[in-house]
Structure 1
Amino acid sequence: MPIRTRAAIIRQSPGEYETVELELDDPRQNEVTVKLTASGLCHSDDHLQTGDMVLGHYPMCGGHEGAGVVTAVGPHTPGYEVGDHVVFSFLPACGKCAACSRGQFNLCDTGANTLVGSRADDVSSFRMHLDGEDVGQMAGISTFAEYTTAHVDSVVRIPKDIPLKEAALVGCGVPTGWGSATNMAGIEPGHTVIVMGVGGIGINAVQGARHAGATTVIAVDPVPFKREKAQEFGATHSFADIAEATTFAQSITEGQGADSAIVTVGVTTGEHVGQAVAAIRKGGTVVLTGVGKMAEVGIPVSPFEMVMMQKRIQGAIYGGNSPHDVIPRLLRMYQAGQLKLEELITKEYTLDEVAQGYRDMHAGTNIRGIVVYE
């Protein structure tokens, strides 16, 4: 029988999250229903409010970073049972498509309907409804809800002794930032790395850069609070703007510049990318992780400089990670004291306070706000 669940939805973009009661379908084959424990307030869901991201379906229930407990399992769905603890991955991994066959599980074809909110295999099939109207699920999961139904390709089972509140963070922000440094930036021991923007993603790029062996990790953010937090997570130096960071990086590398720059600005523009390219040495890498406006194009970079100095701009989604590999691995590191998770959480909110959480994010008072469910 379908159940009722409170959830935060957005009816239009630009718009603002509001709490409503939805009807949630029972899980079908290869699906589970999960009672949420916590959901991170990732900047990507704020892009829905501002209109930077244009959705393929409205209304949409937000949230794509969360963890909880399985309450129902669809028929003929082996490997899961009621009571399992799970973390959601906003990127599904089918293991069968062309991308997955190459080992690029973060580029799985089933992620095509992420901004439509339907089932991956049927653009007309939805699991949430409001007064008879279909409601999309952000990334096919929607963690801004007390209960949600999702495909098992987007669910990773975890040990029950791991706190779910902290585990929620490894669904998006932690692996995205961490992998941007450890997988995509080519960091080696002794490197100098710049991280532009140290919010919920960038702070984990700082963690990842130090773990990869960088000797100098330079955090760039205009907000003093974030610069202070970055140093707690491994930054060796911090600056308010990229020009200062670039000058410093050049001063300690005989004028060469940083080995890599990771761009994790909340609303990334071409100008940010151009600044990052100017900050790296010959043969260096810029990792572009922060999301900008979908309609914006153009990067002010000289093709001559790119060719003659052999610089590289590398896009990165989910830090280049495989969800079903990186989530358990990061949680093992957390248990071993090698990864900070609870320290990321700045403030807890109720479901009714999602919009306020994003206002706080814009005010620069949060590294990561989270919604905690009773």
Structure 2
Amino acid sequence: MTVTCKGLVLRELGLPAPYADSRPLKLETVTLASPKPTDLVVKVRGGGLCHSDLSVINGSRGRMVPMLLGHEGAGEVVEIGAGIDDVKVGDKVVFQFAPSCGRCEMCQSGRPQICSAAAKARAEGGLLSGGTRITDEDGAPMYHHTGISCFAEYAVVNRGSVVVVDDPISMVDAAVFGCAVMTGTGAVMNTAKIQPGETVAIFGLGGVGLCGIMGAKASGAEVVIGVDLEETKRTKALELGATHVFDARDPELATKVADLTRGGVDCAVELAGAVAAMNGAYAVLRRGGRLVTAGLSPAGAQFGFEHADLVSNEKAVIGSYMGSSVPVRDIPRFLRMFHAGQLPVDSLIDGYLGFDEVNAGFDKLNEGKALRQILAPHGT
């Protein structure tokens, strides 16, 4: 059946801040088409406000509009397509923004997070099962955000875009596992593969970066360094497991880290989505060190380094999409770590919002005054 509901629609990129005034996200009535055989409909309980959403709003990472925004979230299944037999109505699910087809070269090589078919569907603003399912009040189609579009009361998604969880966590709070935790903790544990005793520096201490701090501590890193522009975020990093913190603007940062770590860190993880952070992260590496980056800089941004240094010191620069996570494996694993006290991600949540508060919420995110605010379409 079709579902008519409220959702936040982006119709114009690059409107100026403050967003509370320019209101780039408009609350509209939208219609979700009946699910195709491999689709399902989810009642959205929580949708996290993330820098990836902000980068679409401000136009630094262009997307097709009109688009129903939101990519980090969780909820409950209310309808399933005829071809789905492993999900039932009432199941709790966490969204994941990189579904996989299971057939392309990337999936077959064990890297489902960079599935070629899913990348094509995201670029087209559709679902992995093909096409779009959202129309506005005039019947005009609109695009999906990473195949999810969870800034709404309901979402129609492909089966591959959800992970069923049997867990007592509130589905509002579970939203953060759909991006912040997978990306930040995953970058440290899956991509960087931090080992006990290693030294780590995390650049960027927003919601994703603080998940990286927690992941580094849980991995047994001996030294965990947090680097950010904001003092409040550096203080939070110390609360969550960082052993040392530095101001990203410190001109002596590389020297101080080298003195602290006997020449530099084994691994630097860039989670800020800024070329300046990439430069800083590369500068603190020791010989043989590795730089992992999961941040997304504005389209066209370039990062450079001295080629001879990379070779002669055998350093490595490694990209990490969605924390190199395999969601069906990692979301349950990270939830277990949460309940064991190893990933206290609930401490990142600094507000629950209604639809009318989301534009102002993005102002707070843009100004560095928030970690993870969560839209709760049906209340907390």
Question: Same fold, TM exceeding 0.5?
Answer: yes
The answer to whether residue 134 in structure 2 is matched with residue 128 in structure 1 is yes
The answer to whether residue 99 in structure 2 is matched with residue 92 in structure 1 is yes
Contact 1:192 1:249 in 2 (8 A): no
> Matched residues in 2 for 1:161 and 1:218: separation?
32
The answer to whether residue 93 in structure 2 is matched with residue 83 in structure 1 is no
**Which of the numbers 310, 318, 331 marks the counterpart of 1:314?**
318
Offset at residue 157 of structure 1 (A): 0.6
Residue type at the aligned position of 1:333:
M
Identity in percent: 35
Q: What's the secondary structure of 1:114's corresponding residue? A: helix
> Matched residues in 1 for 2:261 and 2:213: separation?
20
> Matched residues in 2 for 1:108 and 1:164: separation?
27
Q: What's the secondary structure of 2:93's corresponding residue? A: strand
**Which of the numbers 294, 297, 302 marks the counterpart of 2:306?**
302
Unaligned runs of 5+ in 2: 16-23
Give the corresponding residue for 2:340. 336
Runs of 4+ residues over 6 Å off in structure 1: none
The answer to whether residue 28 in structure 2 is matched with residue 23 in structure 1 is no
Give the corresponding residue for 2:13. 13
Offset at residue 276 of structure 1 (A): 1.5
Residue type at the aligned position of 1:275:
G
> Matched residues in 1 for 2:234 and 2:124: separation?
36
TM-score by length of 1: 0.94
The answer to whether residue 207 in structure 2 is matched with residue 200 in structure 1 is yes
**Which of the numbers 294, 297, 308 marks the counterpart of 1:289?**
294
Contact 2:38 2:129 in 1 (8 A): no
Aligned residue pairs: how many? 367
TM-score by length of 2: 0.93
Residue type at the aligned position of 1:341:
V
Q: Deviations over 1:124-157 (max 9, x none)?
A: x211101221111101111101001001011111
Which structure 2 residues correspond to residues 40-59 of structure 1 after superposition, within 5 A? 40-55=48-63, 57-59=64-66
Contact 1:39 1:370 in 2 (8 A): yes
Give the corresponding residue for 1:185. 192
Q: Deviations over 1:177-209 (max 9, x none)?
A: 001111222422222211111001100110111
Contact 1:28 1:75 in 2 (8 A): yes
Unaligned runs of 5+ in 1: none
Give the corresponding residue for 2:246. 239
The answer to whether residue 40 in structure 2 is matched with residue 36 in structure 1 is no
Give the corresponding residue for 2:21. none
**Which of the numbers 47, 68, 71 marks the counterpart of 1:64?**
71
Residue type at the aligned position of 2:147:
G
Contact 1:116 1:138 in 2 (8 A): no
